[in-house]
Amino acid sequence: MKNPVFITGKSLTCSLGEDLDMMMACLQQKQAPMDLIPLSLADPATSRPYYRIHPHDQTVRNNVETYFYKILFDTVARAIADAGLLQREVEDLAIFFGSTSIDIPIYESHYEKSDDDALNHFSQASYGYGAIVSETSKHFGIKGPCYTFTTACTSSANALLYAAAMIEKGSLERALVIGYDLFNNTGFYGFESLRLTATSACKPFDKNRDGIIMGEACGAVILERQCKRVQDFRYLGGANLCDTFNVTTHNVEGDVIAEVIRQAMLNAGVTPGDIAAVKAHATGSEMNDRMEANGMRQVFMTEMPPVTGIKPFVGHTVGAAGVVELILFTEAVKKGFLPATLGFTVMDEELMITPVTENMPMAAGIFILNYFGFGGNCTSMIICNRS
Amino acid sequence: MFIHSAVAHITAPADVKTLKEELKRHTEIHFRRISKFVLLALIGAYSCAARHCPDGAAAIYLTTENGNLADTESVLSQIYRSHSLPMPFNFINTMANTAAFYVAQGLGLCGRNLTVSSQNLSFERGMELLKADMDLGFVKHALIGLVDVATTAASHFAASPGISNTQVNQIDRSCWLYVTSERGGAMGELAAIQSFKTQNDAVQWLETNPDALSQNAVISFGSAVGLTEKKAWLNRVQAITSQPAREFDYAGNFGNCNVTTACAVAHFMNTFSAARLFHINKNFSDQYVILEVSRC
């Protein structure tokens, strides 16, 4: 008998701000502010859109390390407060942290200032993958075990899967799950080197798609055995698998994607007919659109539930996407709607997928959330707010 | 959880060419554009798989303290020093999970695939995740390993004033176990993995295990456990069992840093004749994990 797992606290810092009500207003009004960032270190004449966080005081960005931890600690503090945890409950938390870049933003800022001689002697390119969570643990007086997941764009989705699994099997009472990726040049220039970045807009599943637009965000959720509010979403199950087709792309037929969705549904005890909607990974890249559409079609065949994508609102927040998109999706449903997929205008006949283009009334149901990433990672999770 | 194969590939810092030659001894597959970190992962995993062919549905848990340092270093240099876009495969390889991908691709393993870390306790936390998957029935077979490159070449330290090269005995390591839920044919059993918030909690747990500690058991320690603390632990074990406590100094040949739990378990399984191992490790917040391994 598995213990139930509920999402009892959440908070988010992203390009839409840090107030969830304001974020929902943006989703309802289809507002998605973006910045244009020049590739000044390599190609100053070229800029790319990016979904940046806009702190009230822009000067806090000057010290990257301080800024990095301020965003992280503020976000976690709000999630803890939202769940109403007592101090002893905070101490007992286990932390599951998912990120693609981990401490790269901090390390980059130090690297940029170092001279070559110092780099030759001491360069390590990382302060250790576990360092961020250790600092978080110390800051909040958390005494539970810490796990850092780095599985590219599925990082925080996998973090959530394992936090939930440990609660389900009784190893943990509650857990803090964090998805965090802050702007860094490694990622910004790296995705440009792969020619994956869009020049104007993110248009998932659209025939005229233009690629991905990256974003930075920090999301945190508290998972607990006990439901605290009627509206709390319940985690029902999930799965992850590796598609060994290619390190950067999945098999376009979508076989492994279909299998991971099936395994997630099996674990959750639901069938395709139970699914009210799918939050697709929906990056807006050619390959992602094709493999995800094919994978979903294998599972749902002609009975495709409504499909939406969140990235046109906040960008592809890479490893943070698991938690970030979970929060935006669940908050929208709590407000009674399935958010529209911005940017979609022209159906791609090869995909035959038309995501929701207008906000659709939807207040309850069983939902699938998909996440895919480099290194063959495929993760799907099933959540529910239907009693 | 039962150990069917255990390998510790531990060497002085090696270059990519040397590692490519080493990998050729294990597989004819030519992996293109892979880095030292990936090569180390492949060499360790292939060595482990050679002793017991993994099930095709096996999961992979790659644990690491620092991930792929060399490719991250290259990308930073390309961006900040050469003012160019990074080379695509250098960028892809900055994500440490690419190593777990290549292990899965090379060995044809399509199960769960994770790359995880936890300061100084990476392997232990990976074991906990594997245990959760096995307990819940998601995974029956798994390769679990710890891979880390030497953080920098010894020559750098030698040239650096104030730091003795002998104090920083850097090593590359790729240590892997093949673990299944089946006892048949196993060489060992992961009998327990216990996390503790304090040292006192860890001591109390050991005190509940006097019989296991007495049965031809040895104690090994993680790298954050200093000499004084080791002596205190051994004295405590002696008090519990009323017999001399034996330390398994798996780290002896490698200097006193950068050795890991995965190395201890693999070396214990392959080279040490005691019946049971208790490995005591901690992170820098003094949270402890004890791993108990017994021979089958």
Looking at residue B170, its pLDDT comes to 74
A87 touches chain B (CB under 8 A): no
For the segment A274-281, the average pLDDT, to the nearest whole number, is 98
Strand, helix or coil for residue B289: strand
Computed over every residue of chain B, the mean pLDDT equals 90
CA B203 to chain centre: 24
Contact at CB, B75 and A374, closer than 8 angstroms: no
Contact at CB, B72 and A104, closer than 8 angstroms: yes
Q: Which of A170, A195, A150 is nearest to A94 (CA)?
A: A170
Contact at CB, B105 and A376, closer than 8 angstroms: yes
Q: Which residues contact A107 (CB under 8 A, 6 or more apart)?
A: A125, A126, A127, B72, B76
Helices (H) and strands (E) in chain B, counts: 11, 9
Q: Which of A221, A5, A382 is nearest to B132 (CA)?
A: A5
Q: Work out the number of other CB atoms within 10 angstroms of the CB of residue A76.
A: 25
Measure the CA–CA gap between A304 and A278, rounded to whole angstroms.
9
DSSP at A51:
B
For the segment A100-104, the average pLDDT, to the nearest whole number, is 94
Measure the CA–CA gap between A384 and A375, rounded to whole angstroms.
29
For residue B113, how many C-alpha atoms fall within 13 Å in the half-sphere facing its CB?
A: 35
Measure the CA–CA gap between B8 and B45, rounded to whole angstroms.
10
Q: Which residues contact B30 (CB under 8 A, 6 or more apart)?
A: none
Q: Work out the number of other CB atoms within 10 angstroms of the CB of residue A352.
A: 11
Task: State pLDDT tens for residues A11-24.
Answer: 999 999 999 999 99
Compute the radius of gyration of chain B from its Cα atoms: 19
How wide is the angle at C-alpha A178 spanned by C-alphas A262 and A154, nearest 5°?
Answer: 35
Given pLDDT bands bounded at 50, 70 and 90, which one contains residue A119?
Answer: low
Contact at CB, B79 and A247, closer than 8 angstroms: no
Q: Which of A111, A153, A76 is nearest to A322 (CA)?
A: A153
Mutation for A interface: B34, B113, B170, B260, most A CBs within 10 A: B113
Residue B127 burial by CB count (10 A; 0-12/13-18/19+): exposed, middle or buried? buried
Q: Which residues contact B65 (CB under 8 A, 6 or more apart)?
A: A128, A129, A130, B117, B119, B120, B122, B146, B148, B260
Task: Give the closest-approach CA distance of A16 to chain B in angstroms.
Answer: 27
Contact at CB, A374 and B98, closer than 8 angstroms: yes
Measure the CA–CA gap between A301 and A26, rounded to whole angstroms.
33
Task: State pLDDT tens for residues A156-185.
Answer: 999 999 999 999 999 999 999 999 999 999
Contact at CB, A121 and B159, closer than 8 angstroms: yes
Given pLDDT bands bounded at 50, 70 and 90, which one contains residue B161?
Answer: very low
Task: State pLDDT tens for residues A228-265.
Answer: 999 999 999 999 999 999 999 999 999 999 999 999 99
Q: Which of A78, A94, A217 is nearest to A146 (CA)?
A: A94
Task: State pLDDT tens for residues B34-90.
Answer: 999 999 999 999 999 998 888 889 999 999 998 988 888 889 999 999 999 999 999
Residues, chain B:
296
CB of B157 closer than 8 Å to CB of B168: yes
How wide is the angle at C-alpha A91 spanned by C-alphas A88 and A96, nearest 5°?
Answer: 140
Looking at residue B160, its pLDDT comes to 47
- The residue type of A209 is R
Compute CA distances A102 → A133, B62, B124, whole Å: 10, 16, 20
Measure the CA–CA gap between A375 and B92, rounded to whole angstroms.
9
B222 touches chain A (CB under 8 A): no
- The DSSP string of B132-164 is HHHHTTS-SEEEEEEEE--SS-HHHHHTSTT--
Residue A79 pLDDT > 80:
yes
Nearest to A186 among B94, B128, B160 (CB): B94
Contact at CB, B118 and A146, closer than 8 angstroms: yes
Tokens representing A351 are: 């995909």
The CATH architecture annotation of domain B188-295 reads 3-Layer(aba) Sandwich (3.40)
Contact at CB, A120 and B156, closer than 8 angstroms: yes
Task: State pLDDT tens for residues A182-204.
Answer: 999 999 999 999 999 999 999 99
Nearest to A244 among B81, B105, B128 (CB): B105
B140 touches chain A (CB under 8 A): no
Task: Give the closest-approach CA distance of A154 to chain B in angstroms.
Answer: 10
Task: State pLDDT tens for residues B259-293.
Answer: 679 999 999 999 878 999 999 999 988 999 999 99
Q: Which residues contact A59 (CB under 8 A, 6 or more apart)?
A: none
Measure the CA–CA gap between A95 and A149, rounded to whole angstroms.
11
A5-384: CATH number:
3.40.47.10
Strand, helix or coil for residue B108: coil
Measure the CA–CA gap between A189 and B20, rounded to whole angstroms.
29
Looking at residue A117, its pLDDT comes to 58
Tokens representing B111 are: 């199960």
The CATH architecture annotation of domain B2-180 reads 3-Layer(aba) Sandwich (3.40)
- A116-120, A212-216, B13-17: which has the highest mean pLDDT? A212-216
Strand, helix or coil for residue A383: strand
B165 touches chain A (CB under 8 A): no
Tokens representing A155 are: 């990082």
Contact at CB, A151 and B113, closer than 8 angstroms: yes
pLDDT over 70 percentage in chain A: 97
How wide is the angle at C-alpha A175 spanned by C-alphas A174 and A181, nearest 5°?
Answer: 165
What are the residue boundaries of the structural domains of chain B, listed by start? 2-180, 188-295
A124 touches chain B (CB under 8 A): yes
Tokens representing B93 are: 């390889």
Mutation for A interface: B34, B105, B116, B260, most A CBs within 10 A: B116
Task: State pLDDT tens for residues A344-378.
Answer: 999 999 998 999 999 999 999 999 999 999 999 99
Among chain B residues, the shortest Cα distance to A163 is held by B129
Phi-psi region of B161 (alpha: psi -120 to 50; beta: other; left: phi over 0): beta
Looking at residue B32, its pLDDT comes to 85
What are the residue boundaries of the structural domains of chain A, listed by start? 5-384
DSSP β-ladder status, B276-282 and B288-295? antiparallel
Measure the CA–CA gap between B208 and B14, rounded to whole angstroms.
44
Measure the CA–CA gap between A152 and A247, rounded to whole angstroms.
11
Looking at residue B259, its pLDDT comes to 61
Q: Work out the number of other CB atoms within 10 angstroms of the CB of residue A319.
A: 32
Given pLDDT bands bounded at 50, 70 and 90, which one contains residue A61?
Answer: confident
Computed over every residue of chain A, the mean pLDDT equals 95
CB of A383 closer than 8 Å to CB of A369: yes
Residue A121 pLDDT > 50:
no
A115 touches chain B (CB under 8 A): no
B214 or A313, which is more confident? A313
Task: State pLDDT tens for residues B120-156.
Answer: 999 999 999 999 999 999 999 999 999 998 865 444 4
Q: Which residues contact A353 (CB under 8 A, 6 or more apart)?
A: A205, A289, A293, A296, A304, A307, A347
Asked whether the domain spanning B188-295 has the same topology as the one spanning B2-180, the reply is: yes
Measure the CA–CA gap between B130 and B181, rounded to whole angstroms.
11
Mutation for A interface: B31, B64, B119, most A CBs within 10 A: B119
> What are the backbone dihedrals phi and psi of residue B145, each rounded to the nearest 5 degrees, phi first?
-145, 165
Per mean pLDDT, which range of A116-130, A166-180, A291-305 is the poorest?
A116-130
Measure the CA–CA gap between B158 and B87, rounded to whole angstroms.
31
Contact at CB, A151 and B81, closer than 8 angstroms: no
Mutation for A interface: B31, B65, B114, B133, most A CBs within 10 A: B114
Token pair 């702007």: residue: A183
B195 touches chain A (CB under 8 A): yes
Strand, helix or coil for residue A168: helix
DSSP at B81:
I
CB of B180 closer than 8 Å to CB of B3: no
Q: Work out the number of other CB atoms within 10 angstroms of the CB of residue B42.
A: 27
- The DSSP string of A176-232 is EEEEEE---HHHHHHHHHTT-B-SS---TTBTT---B-BB-EEEEEEEESS--STT-
The β-bridge partners of A5 are A235
Per mean pLDDT, which range of A75-79, A114-118, A265-269, B131-135 is the poorest?
A114-118
CB of A341 closer than 8 Å to CB of A308: yes
B114 touches chain A (CB under 8 A): yes
Looking at residue B224, its pLDDT comes to 84
Task: State pLDDT tens for residues A28-45.
Answer: 999 999 999 999 999 999
Nearest to A244 among B70, B75, B110 (CB): B110
